[in-house]
Amino acid sequence: MVDDVEKRWHDPEMYRRAVGYCVGVLIVTALIFLAIDQWASRRETCGQSPRTFCDGASQAAILGGPGLALVIGTIGAFVTTYRVWRQHRAWPIWQGAGWFLMIVSLAYLSIGTGSVMS
């Protein structure tokens, strides 16, 4: 049993699973982004605008699709944190994965919102 006060949270297998989960979420997000980018590039252009994402549907899709995948991945990491904590195992590894995915989610959504609104 892991005592939270002692801070003995060395579990290489749990670390590999958490890193694999984060990499998997990022790969799925990138594939969703590429699929939406291909879809948006086939849409008709908006007059003289050179922007690919000039209509509301493509802007919402490019922001919402990958953003939703990142948010779902973040929630999944925090749910796994709780489950691992209940098993008295090395839960801070999963908490770190959750915080990493949350930072990536917020960065993507804030940068994406700023570029879509301009």
DSSP track, 85-100: HHTTS-THHHHHHHHH
Q: Do residues 51 and 76 touch, judged by C-beta distance below 8 A?
A: no
Choose between 52 and 12: higher pLDDT.
12
The Cβ of residue 91 has, within 10 Å, a number of other Cβ atoms equal to: 21
d(C-alpha 31, C-alpha 113), whole Å: 20
Phi, psi of 22 (to 5 degrees): -65, -45
pLDDT digits (tens, 9 = 90+) for 56-89: 778 888 889 999 999 999 999 999 999 999 998 8
| Tokens at 11, concatenated | 């579990």
pLDDT digits (tens, 9 = 90+) for 13-54: 999 999 999 999 999 999 999 999 888 877 776 666 666 667
pLDDT of residue 5: 52
